[in-house]
Structure 1
Amino acid sequence: MLEKNNNKLNLACAAVAVAVLLFDLSLPLGVAGGVPYVALVLLGMWAPTIRYIYFLATLGTALTIVGYVLSDAGGVPWVVLVNRGLAFFVIWTTAILLALRNQGQDALARSRDDLEGHALQHTIENRENEDRYRAFSDLSSEGVAIINGGTIIEANQAFASMYGYSISKLIGKPVLELVVPEQRENITDQISQNSSVTFECHGFRKDGSIVPVEVKTMPITYKGHRMLAARLRDLTEAHEAVEAIRIGEERLRHAQKMEAVGQLTGGVAHDFNNLLAAIIGNLDLIDVAAITSKNDRESIAVALWAAQSGAELTYRLLAFSRNQPLHAKAAQVNDALPRFYQLAKRTIGEDITIEIKPDKDLWLTMVDVGQLEAAILNLAINARDAMPDGGQLTVETSNQVLCEKDAARFEDLTPGDYVMITVRDNGGGMSPEVLEQAIEPFYTTKGVGEGSGLGLSTVFGFARQSQGQIEIDSVEGQGTTVRIYLPRTYETISGDLKSEAAEQGNPSGNETILVVEDESDVLNYIVKALNRFGYNMLQAKDGPTALEVMASCDTIDLLLTDVILPQGMNGREIADAFQRQFPTACVLYSSGYTREVLGQRSQIDDHMVLINKPYGRHVLARQVREILDDRQKEDIL
């Protein structure tokens, strides 16, 4: 470190010297151009020795002469010489004063060290009486001990408390017994110098725990013998603060990386959803019953299944980026376990035993039950892959109260009541290296084509979007345990507000609907689908076209618009214009982005109705019918 600092000082001196020389050469000879070399000499305040200051003064003198020789002739000769002499005087006066200052500081530092040693020695020697233990304990709030030949002969209460002993038990104990074994050789070298040194080490407490300490030693004379006094400071809190900063920085880097990948996957999912909307929609429009060829019907079924699998992939991408739409409500997690059990039995095979252990007094939590089932099933599939020869899978629920210390283990988790879902297997487990990357997006230990690397990432995304967290413990050869923490809610379970009639009733109608969609394939699908349900359809590909259509119509009952559109107008701006012209009409928004993303961009509010792409014709028709019926109810009221 000292060598590094000297290099920086040398570079600084060289830079100043060159700068002043160039400045001197630019001035007439009649000006005292050497005086600025005082700045070079002043850098000697950081010089390691007095000689360095005089070296800088000599260098300044030499460069003053060089400036005199190289400068263009001019000025009164005697004035020029006087000015150069004045520069020499200022340079050397500054150097001498600076050298005296540094000498004074060195002497002061030595005196301070000597005074501290004498003060400690005097204090100790004056306490050789029947009350010396009590007086000695008052010497310092830090740990203090006197060591003779490697053995503790005196110690104060702070020192004893630091190591968990009584003072009487410490007297006569070899000091190395209070140091962790791997550092004893180094500590022996430090204290054998019998001089003032400062170092850090790890102390060994009576109960076997470790305490980091800073040790400062100084030689003293005690009872006529040369001994060593040591002051110790507990560094536990300082180390914890440093570790907290490190963890915080690590979490920040991880969050930034997850945010970047999340934005990427969210954008990919949006574009993919637009494609799937056209594919699933048009396949859904095909009247399969009217197709006579069995092969054609099977081909359509396979294509529809593949498209729906693509929709599932976009869900997983959105789940990782924490942007999938959640329909959270107060729920009892135990109620989802029977359905999970049936799904898991068909998914993970008969050679794996499934055990469900619900807590009968489990609290309620605010959660999207469907996404929770998918998350637990994801963990079950991971467990299956970790147990190719069979094994035991346990799913358990319990109530957990996290204190501040417990909550601090997680990112952005507050202390309080939580519902914990534990999924445990006795498979092969994960190495520490794999465990560290387990929730990283697209990270997988499986072969090419055998896994997407989104399993644990989607579970993590679901938990975070539900204001919870996940915790993973794994030991190679023993298995893996994943815990999902979801915050407790005090709301009560309510029934589904939608009636069966709304879900299963006839979604047809004869109202007029304007569809605004920039994707031609999606636009054509929506128009065809709603036409089949009896609606009168109008269409536009962008905002200006939509305004033209609105201007030519007397009545439009509903606007179905994509949120993000070209030509300078977004869906919200079109809706504002639409409702100014048709104030009693209603609006349905559609997007491949989720409500959360659109809300962050201020393109949609909570009260606005949004249908996420992709969607089938029946889902679309039911949503349209529901909005129109709600408007009619409001008109009646």
Structure 2
Amino acid sequence: MTSQLEWSAHRMPQRFLNYERQKVTFWLAIVVLVAAIAFSVLNYFERQAILDSIETKQSILIQAQDARNSLRMAEAGARGFAISESPKDHARFQSGIATFTETFARLKKSSRDNPELISRLANLERLAEREIAISEKLAARDRPDQGSQLVAVSSQTMELFNRGIDDFLILARSIRQNQFDDLRNQRLVSGIALVLGALLSLGLISWLFMLREREFTRRRAVEDELRALNTGLEASVRERTLELERSRDLLDTIIESIPDPIYLKNADDEYRYVFVNEAAEQLFGLPREQAMGRIDHELFPREQANLCRREDRQIHNSGEIGFSPAREMITQQGPRDVESRKIPFQSADGQTLILGVLRDVTDHRRMERQLREMQRMDSLGRLTGGIAHDFNNLLAIIMGNLDLVREELDTSTETALMIDEALGATVRGAELVRRLLAFARKQHLEPVAVDLNEHIPEVLPLLERTLGENVTVQFKDGADLWLALIDPGQVDDALVNLAINARDSMLEGGLLTIETANANLDEDYAAQHVEVDPGEYVALMVSDTGSGMSSTTISRAFEPFFTTKEEGKGTGLGLSQVYGWVKQSGGHIKIYSELGHGTTIKLYLPRSGEKTAVTHELPDATRTSAKGEERVLVVEDNLNVRRTVVRQLHDLGYSTIEADDGQSALEMIRNGVSFDLLFTDIVMPGGMSGYELAEVATGLRPGLRVLLTSGYTELGQKAANPACWPLISKPYRKSELAIMIRTILDAPPRDRNA
């Protein structure tokens, strides 16, 4: 193959010379032919110009005759009117003057390109003006005694005008005859040039065909030689083509698989889209066939399209890579937050293209906002929980001592009334702290399997009394409802809080609807709400027909102490308490509202794995004065709280021993100190919590009774089965403590693992 290529290279200069010779011959023939044709065309235009001039001269001859005749008619009319005073003669005079004026003007216009004719016409015009002036005097009859004299002058003037017209006509005919002679000469020259050009062109073309015939013979031999080369080249091209196709397919697969939208714009054609990948199709909401070939103004709103166009021009002019931080882009799918990176480059054919890579960060930014909101709420909850814990210790001291003092006083005394008011304020403060703990997710919960369809109807009478007659309450129970794993007492509080908020938004009354349903929150929903775990939930929905909420109000609705009510009409803790309870229960809460169209709050409560609901039993409230003689080990790190508890227990008849932390209490137990009940705080310093103390103590003394207390609890993190031990939350009344201790001591001992 190499030798064939070398031979072809050797023959190439000769073939190149032959080709150049043929090319020169061909173009020479074309030039000759074109020159002949061009000469003929120019000659044609010249003849046409001569013909136009001949026609003009012919019209000049006619107009000159018309001018003479019209002037004669004016003269005859003037004479006749001077003799007979006939209106008809006067009309002939006027008509002749008008016709002459118009005809002579056309004659001057037609003769303007010939100076000699114009000169003759100037003399004729003076004679005509003189004749017209004489005729007007005759027609006016101002001087009848001079009529004969005027007629003689008019005849003389008219004679001069006729001679001038005759001279003018002779000159015009002479010019026309010369032009006729030029026209015949032009036709002869044009014919000769065209024939000579055609003959020369035919000769050259014939010679060219002869050369082409020789070249054809040589070319057939060369084609046979090249055919063998083509066979090898085709195989090589096929291999390279397949390789390029494989590379292109791989590149297409990679580009289409990239989750980020990618596009190409032609900067030289109004920045039209020439390529979009599948991700860009989804973002634009258009098939690529519809997107490609369009400009931004055909896909996006004007303001957004103008911004894209400015960026493209800046990148095009600078030639530098451009990056735009996340901003809102209006697409066929709605507003999206998009980052963009644009890279200008030159294509193989010299066009300037802009490669754009977009990143849809809408979901990412929404998740960031949700995460920040979760962190903010969590931080607020931690702060609230810590404050509430300290307040509960303070309230426990105040409430316990007020209870002790109150029992020593006569009911009718002024001091007793003051103590009752202080106790009432302390109870209200305890309720406020309880709500704060609910928001902080640190309240004591006892979740059990609850059938909401059976439980909610028991609460409806309370809601109806609370809401009043202006609000209608209806309950829609969902079919085949699953059991919810929740604290039933908290459900009642949540319904009351939601119902009161609904009532306050329906100033003129309305409808409150409570619904239950099974709900399955899938992966897509969980991806849009970072705090949600996908799975099965029991949905509890409370809807009203009130004024609704704005988006700003919704974003802050769960914050403690946030309220849109007038001062003194709400604490702003209702929704925050519900929020904290739902979150602590492992559920999810969502507000759907629109101004003027009401609000729906959906509570997604965790589904219970139990098959039957658990009946919730309350302690016997008749044992308010229960006392005892047993011995209680009180473990409390706060000295004032411990003193108050010891006073209450002594007043109830119990004896006590005290410890200020878990380690001290554990040392007493190991030393064999006798006692009947372990009453311990949960959160204590020293590295051992109340849960851990109870765990070790019951291990050392099986059957030991345990009662836990705390300002807040974190049950799920502190013990495997914290509900095994009863708990009384601070602050508590002396009567509540008496019932709880007596209930525990009177119950039969049980294995904590039972």
TM range (shorter): 0.5 to 0.7
Q: Does 1:256 align with 2:370?
A: no
User: Which whole-Å CA distance do the structure 2 matches of 1:573 and 1:633 have between them?
Assistant: 18
Deviation for aligned residue 1:562: 5.0
Q: Is the 8 A contact 1:542 1:566 kept in 2?
A: no
Q: Which moved more, 1:413-422 or 1:175-184?
A: 175-184
Q: Which moved more, 1:563-572 or 1:373-382?
A: 563-572
Output aligned runs, 1:598-617, within 5 Å.
Answer: 607-616=724-733
The aligned residue for residue 85 of structure 1 is: none
Q: Is the 8 A contact 1:218 1:229 kept in 2?
A: yes
Q: Is the 8 A contact 1:320 1:461 kept in 2?
A: yes
What one-letter code is carried by the residue in structure 2 that aligns with 1:456?
L
Q: Is the 8 A contact 2:706 2:725 kept in 1?
A: yes
Deviation for aligned residue 1:566: 10
C-alpha spacing 1:349/1:435, structure 2 compared with 1 (3 Å): same
Deviation for aligned residue 1:559: 4.3
Output aligned runs, 1:12-23, within 5 Å.
Answer: none
Q: Does 1:624 align with 2:741?
A: yes
The aligned residue for residue 329 of structure 1 is: 448
User: Which whole-Å CA distance do the structure 1 matches of 2:664 and 2:345 have between them?
Assistant: 88
C-alpha spacing 1:174/1:497, structure 2 compared with 1 (3 Å): closer
Instruction: Specify which of 360, 373, 392 is matched with residue 269 of structure 1.
Output: 392
The aligned residue for residue 297 of structure 2 is: 176
Q: Is the 8 A contact 2:399 2:733 kept in 1?
A: no
User: Which whole-Å CA distance do the structure 2 matches of 1:136 and 1:565 have between them?
Assistant: 65
Please give the per-residue CA displacement for 1:255-297, whole angstroms capped at 9, x wherever unaligned: 22332233222322332234234435665x5899xx6x69999
User: Which whole-Å CA distance do the structure 2 matches of 1:567 and 1:192 have between them?
Assistant: 69
The aligned residue for residue 356 of structure 2 is: 232
Deviation for aligned residue 1:204: 6.6
Deviation for aligned residue 1:354: 1.4
User: Which whole-Å CA distance do the structure 1 matches of 2:585 and 2:555 have between them?
Assistant: 23
Q: Does 1:596 align with 2:714?
A: yes
Deviation for aligned residue 1:380: 0.8
Output aligned runs, 1:289-438, within 5 Å.
Answer: 306-438=425-557
Deviation for aligned residue 1:356: 1.4
**Bigger helix share:** 2
User: Which whole-Å CA distance do the structure 2 matches of 1:265 and 1:480 have between them?
Assistant: 31
C-alpha spacing 1:286/1:353, structure 2 compared with 1 (3 Å): farther
C-alpha spacing 1:239/1:278, structure 2 compared with 1 (3 Å): same
The aligned residue for residue 263 of structure 2 is: 143
Please give the per-residue CA displacement for 1:92-125, whole angstroms capped at 9, x wherever unaligned: xxxxxxxxxxxxxxxxxxxxxxxxxxxxxxxxxx
User: Which whole-Å CA distance do the structure 2 matches of 1:567 and 1:391 have between them?
Assistant: 56
C-alpha spacing 1:378/1:574, structure 2 compared with 1 (3 Å): closer
Deviation for aligned residue 1:316: 1.2
Q: Does 1:527 align with 2:614?
A: no
User: Which whole-Å CA distance do the structure 2 matches of 1:584 and 1:170 have between them?
Assistant: 77
Q: Is the 8 A contact 2:703 2:750 kept in 1?
A: no
Q: Does 1:481 align with 2:591?
A: no
Unmatched runs of 5 consecutive residues or more in structure 1: 1-126
The aligned residue for residue 631 of structure 2 is: 513
What one-letter code is carried by the residue in structure 2 that aligns with 1:361?
D
User: Which whole-Å CA distance do the structure 2 matches of 1:208 and 1:572 have between them?
Assistant: 53
Q: Which moved more, 1:202-211 or 1:304-313?
A: 202-211
Please give the per-residue CA displacement for 1:193-217, whole angstroms capped at 9, x wherever unaligned: 6543555587776677768454434
What one-letter code is carried by the residue in structure 1 that aligns with 2:359?
L
Output aligned runs, 1:58-207, within 5 Å.
Answer: 138=252, 141=255, 142-146=262-266, 148-150=268-270, 152=272, 154-155=274-275, 161=281, 163=284, 165=286, 169-170=290-291, 172-191=293-312, 195=317, 196=319, 198-199=321-322, 200=324
Deviation for aligned residue 1:358: 1.6
User: Which whole-Å CA distance do the structure 1 matches of 2:618 and 2:373 have between them?
Assistant: 49
What one-letter code is carried by the residue in structure 1 that aligns with 2:263?
G
Deviation for aligned residue 1:364: 0.7
Instruction: State the secondary structure of the residue aligned to 2:714.
Output: helix
Aligned length: 489
User: Which whole-Å CA distance do the structure 2 matches of 1:506 and 1:216 have between them?
Assistant: 81
The aligned residue for residue 343 of structure 2 is: 216
User: Which whole-Å CA distance do the structure 2 matches of 1:202 and 1:159 have between them?
Assistant: 17
What one-letter code is carried by the residue in structure 1 that aligns with 2:385?
G
Please give the per-residue CA displacement for 1:374-402, whole angstroms capped at 9, x wherever unaligned: 01110111111112221221111111111
User: Which whole-Å CA distance do the structure 2 matches of 1:159 and 1:496 have between them?
Assistant: 54
User: Which whole-Å CA distance do the structure 1 matches of 2:271 and 2:690 have between them?
Assistant: 82
C-alpha spacing 1:271/1:321, structure 2 compared with 1 (3 Å): farther
User: Which whole-Å CA distance do the structure 1 matches of 2:559 and 2:307 have between them?
Assistant: 41
Q: Is the 8 A contact 1:507 1:621 kept in 2?
A: yes
Q: Is the 8 A contact 1:512 1:557 kept in 2?
A: yes
Please give the per-residue CA displacement for 1:346-371, whole angstroms capped at 9, x wherever unaligned: 11211112121121321111101111
Instruction: State the secondary structure of the residue aligned to 1:408.
Output: helix
Q: Is the 8 A contact 2:296 2:308 kept in 1?
A: no
With normalisation by structure 1, the TM-score equals: 0.63
What one-letter code is carried by the residue in structure 2 that aligns with 1:455?
G
C-alpha spacing 1:332/1:388, structure 2 compared with 1 (3 Å): same
Please give the per-residue CA displacement for 1:595-632, whole angstroms capped at 9, x wherever unaligned: 427x8689x96644433334455543443344334456
C-alpha spacing 1:268/1:355, structure 2 compared with 1 (3 Å): same
Q: Is the 8 A contact 1:320 1:462 kept in 2?
A: yes
User: Which whole-Å CA distance do the structure 1 matches of 2:432 and 2:747 have between them?
Assistant: 33
Instruction: Specify which of 701, 704, 708 is matched with residue 586 of structure 1.
Output: 704
User: Which whole-Å CA distance do the structure 1 matches of 2:516 and 2:375 have between them?
Assistant: 31
User: Which whole-Å CA distance do the structure 2 matches of 1:392 and 1:610 have between them?
Assistant: 39
Instruction: State the secondary structure of the residue aligned to 1:275.
Output: helix
Deviation for aligned residue 1:250: 4.5
Deviation for aligned residue 1:231: 2.2
Deviation for aligned residue 1:181: 2.1
What one-letter code is carried by the residue in structure 2 that aligns with 1:311?
A
RMSD, aligned CA: 4.8
The aligned residue for residue 33 of structure 1 is: none
Q: Is the 8 A contact 1:150 1:175 kept in 2?
A: no
C-alpha spacing 1:447/1:244, structure 2 compared with 1 (3 Å): closer
Instruction: State the secondary structure of the residue aligned to 1:272.
Output: helix
With normalisation by structure 2, the TM-score equals: 0.54
Output aligned runs, 1:47-62, within 5 Å.
Answer: none
User: Which whole-Å CA distance do the structure 2 matches of 1:474 and 1:206 have between them?
Assistant: 25
Q: Is the 8 A contact 1:507 1:625 kept in 2?
A: no
Structure index of larger Rg:
2
Output aligned runs, 1:438-453, within 5 Å.
Answer: 438-453=557-572
Instruction: State the secondary structure of the residue aligned to 2:581.
Output: helix
What one-letter code is carried by the residue in structure 2 that aligns with 1:343?
L
C-alpha spacing 1:507/1:524, structure 2 compared with 1 (3 Å): closer
Instruction: State the secondary structure of the residue aligned to 1:235.
Output: strand
User: Which whole-Å CA distance do the structure 1 matches of 2:660 and 2:275 have between them?
Assistant: 84
